[in-house]
Amino acid sequence: MSLDKVLESDRLIFRPIDASYCTENYLQWMNDKEVVRYMEVFNDYSKEDLENYLRSAEKDNALLFWAIHVKANAKHIGNIKIDPINRYHGYGEYGIMMGDKSEWGKGYASEATKTVIEYCFKQEGLRKIVLGVVEDNLPAVNLYKKLGFVTEGIYKDHGKYDGHYCNILRMAIFNPAVNA
C-alpha cells in the first residue's frame, strides 16, 4: 500500500495497516460472530488467511487502509479503509470494523469516520464516499445519517444476515468543496 500517512484525531491515531497486524486479537475479531455480523466475512478465518489478506493490502497502491488505535494506550481497536477508489469518477468505498468490543459505544467509530472522510476530501480530492450497510443494522445506519450520509438507493433482499435476506442501503456523503 502506498499510503504512509499517519492520521490523528482527538482520541485516536490511524496507522497504515500491514502484515505486522496479523495478531491473535485481530484473528479473534475476524472469527467473532458479533463483530463480523454485518460484514462480508465468513467464519473460520485462519491466521494464514489474515496474513495473506494483510500482505495483499500492503501491496495494493489503490486503497487507503488504517489500523485504528486509542492514543492514550496505543491499543489497536479496529480498522478503517477506503477501497476501492475510483479516481476517474472521484469516489471511494468506505468500510470500518470496530473489532475490540470493550471499546464499543465510546464514539470511536464516529470519530474515525469523520477523520478519514476529511482526509479523503481534503488530501485525496475525492468528491464522494459511498458505502453499503445492512438496513437492519440500525446503529450503523443512524451513525451514517448523523454524519451526513444520504441514502442513494436500496438493494432489495441483497444479502443474507442472521439467517434471513436483508436490504442493503447504498449511502453516500459528498465533498462540499467539490460538489458546491
The pLDDT of residue 40: 82
The pLDDT of residue 59: 83
Higher pLDDT, residue 5 or 142: 142
Question: What is residue 105's three-state secondary structure?
Answer: coil
Which three three-digit cell numbers place residue 80?
478503517
Within 10 angstroms of residue 120's Cβ, the number of other Cβ atoms is 22
Give the separation between CA 67 and CA 21, rounded to whole angstroms: 8
Across 128-140, average pLDDT: 96
- Say yes or no to pLDDT of 155 above 90: yes
Give the separation between CA 101 and CA 12, rounded to whole angstroms: 16
What is the per-residue pLDDT across 71-124, written as a single tens digit (0 to 9) for each?
A: 999 999 999 999 999 999 999 999 999 999 999 999 999 999 999 999 999 999
Q: DSSP letters along 18-82, please?
A: -GGG--HHHHHHHT-TTTTTTSS--S---HHHHHHHHHHHHH-TT-EEEEEEETTT--EEEEEEE
Across 146-159, average pLDDT: 97
pLDDT band for position 180 (cuts 50, 70, 90): low
The pLDDT of residue 4: 66
What is the per-residue pLDDT across 22-36, written as a single tens digit (0 to 9) for each?
A: 999 999 999 999 999
What is the per-residue pLDDT across 9-22, written as a single tens digit (0 to 9) for each?
A: 999 999 999 999 99
The pTM of the full predicted model, rounded to 2 decimals, is 0.93
Give the separation between CA 77 and CA 25, rounded to whole angstroms: 9
Instruction: Show the CA angle centred on residue 86, arms to residues 78 and 81, nearest 5°.
Output: 5
Exposure pattern of 55-77 as b/e (b: 16+ CB <10 Å)? eebbeeeebbbbbbbbeeeeebb
Domains along the sequence of the chain with CATH: 7-126 (3.40.630.30)
Candidates 110, 155, 111, 105; CA nearest to 134 is 155
What is the per-residue pLDDT across 37-61, written as a single tens digit (0 to 9) for each?
A: 998 877 688 999 999 999 998 888 7
